[in-house]
């Protein structure tokens, strides 16, 4: 396992992050405590030290299990959790207000059995709390020592940019990590979010590298593998995505690595400063996924995967790269201009 820097914090995290939404059976697709511990141990034994959870995952069971597992080596592990979402129907137990933030972090600390959370995410933008208010509230939280760094998830790039600019202007902490879905069938983060991560020096943590199991190939034929999606119901199971899964499966036979390994490895190589988040329901799945550490995809293989997964035009970024426009912008002198 190699390690990446968590934004500008100096904290070192493993190049893969273990998602723990599968810790617990409360949501009917996870693992019991014993299997969750085996998954946790396998990840640690491979050098993993970065774990992702949230107050809402499996109704709190995810944090409870994770809290028990980390006690013997808490100092070396990096624990991420989140607030914003809720399963409660109480009006002030959701969103990004300081009230919900305070209540949520206290609940997570209790379930995790720890004094601090290494990385605390805003789980989703609620369009109610202003960026100025949010960043000030998060700064108070950081000053309390209950969280060591902050991240943002499922938020438009223009809002995150404003939040970071406000923090820079006022001498506050900026977001150290950005979390959104990212996989071969969901690449919209390429347009603005990943460039923003590079510009603001945030760690990119893409979740769902297997597209909820689609990219394992198990939806291409009838089998007994557990499935969370139904053809004709889930938008993920489109003809385009299934065709892409078939091409990945064909490539897997050529290079002797499973479709799952190819999909995760692609995500690892697409963004230099990233730690993709993968989950597993069983030790077998976890061990299979961890074999991505044993190989790299060649340039030709990456180009092929990028070609079959390409999204539409990325304007204005693509527009600004047109040769004719560059010639007009730089008057044919681009190679002489030093940044």
280 vs 294: CA distance, rounded Å? 18
240 vs 237: CA distance, rounded Å? 8
* DSSP track, 81-145: EEES--S---TTSSSS-HHHHHHHHHHHHHHHT-S-BSEEEE-S--SSS-HHHHHHHHHHHHHHT
Confirm if 302 and 294 have CB atoms less than 8 A apart: no
57, 83, 182, 219: which is the annotated catalytic residue? 57
- Residue 24 gets the label, from left (phi > 0), alpha (psi -120 to 50) or beta, of left
The two three-digit tokens of residue 88, written as one number? 């409660």
Whether 57 sits among the annotated catalytic residues: the reply is: yes
Greatest CA span in the chain, whole angstroms? 65
CA nearest to 70, candidates 83, 81, 59: 81
Q: Cβ contacts of residue 280 below 8 Å, gap of 6+?
A: 18, 22, 31, 39, 286, 289
CA nearest to 179, candidates 162, 157, 163: 157
Residue with tokens 């202003």: 130
Residue with tokens 């996924």: 289
Query: Which residues are designated catalytic?
Result: 57
């Amino acid at each position: 396992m190699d390690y990446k820097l968590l934004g500008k914090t100096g904290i070192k995290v493993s190049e893969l992050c273990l998602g723990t939404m599968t810790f617990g059976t409360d949501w009917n697709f996870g693992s019991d405590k014993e299997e969750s511990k085996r998954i946790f141990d396998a990840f640690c034994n491979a050098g993993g030290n970065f774990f992702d959870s949230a107050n809402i995952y499996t109704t709190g069971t995810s944090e409870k299990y994770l809290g028990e597992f980390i006690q013997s080596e808490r100092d070396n592990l990096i624990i991420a959790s989140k607030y914003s979402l809720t399963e409660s129907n109480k009006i002030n137990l959701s969103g990004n207000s300081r009230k919900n933030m305070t209540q949520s972090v206290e609940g997570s600390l209790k379930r995790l059995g720890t004094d601090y959370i290494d990385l605390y995410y805003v789980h989703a933008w609620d369009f109610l709390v202003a960026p100025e208010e949010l960043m000030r509230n998060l700064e108070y939280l950081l000053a309390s020592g209950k969280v060591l760094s902050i991240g943002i998830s499922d938020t438009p790039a223009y809002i995150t940019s404003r939040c970071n600019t406000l923090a820079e202007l006022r001498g506050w902490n900026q977001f150290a990590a950005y979390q959104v879905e990212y996989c071969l069938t969901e690449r919209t983060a390429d347009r603005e979010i990943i460039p923003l991560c590079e510009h603001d020096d945030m760690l990119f943590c893409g979740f769902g590298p297997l597209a909820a199991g689609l990219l394992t190939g198990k939806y291409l034929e009838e089998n007994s593998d557990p499935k969370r999606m139904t053809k004709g119901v889930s938008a993920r199971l489109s003809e385009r995505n299934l065709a892409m899964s078939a091409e990945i499966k064909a490539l897997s036979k050529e290079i002797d690595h499973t479709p799952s390994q190819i999909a995760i490895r692609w995500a690892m190589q697409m963004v230099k400063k990233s730690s993709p988040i993968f989950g597993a329901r069983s030790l077998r799945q976890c061990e299979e996924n961890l074999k991505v550490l044993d190989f790299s995809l060649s340039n030709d293989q990456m180009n092929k995967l990028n070609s079959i997964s390409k999204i539409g035009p990325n304007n204005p970024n693509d527009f600004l790269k047109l040769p004719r426009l560059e010639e007009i912008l730089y008057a044919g002198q681009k190679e002489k201009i030093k940044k």
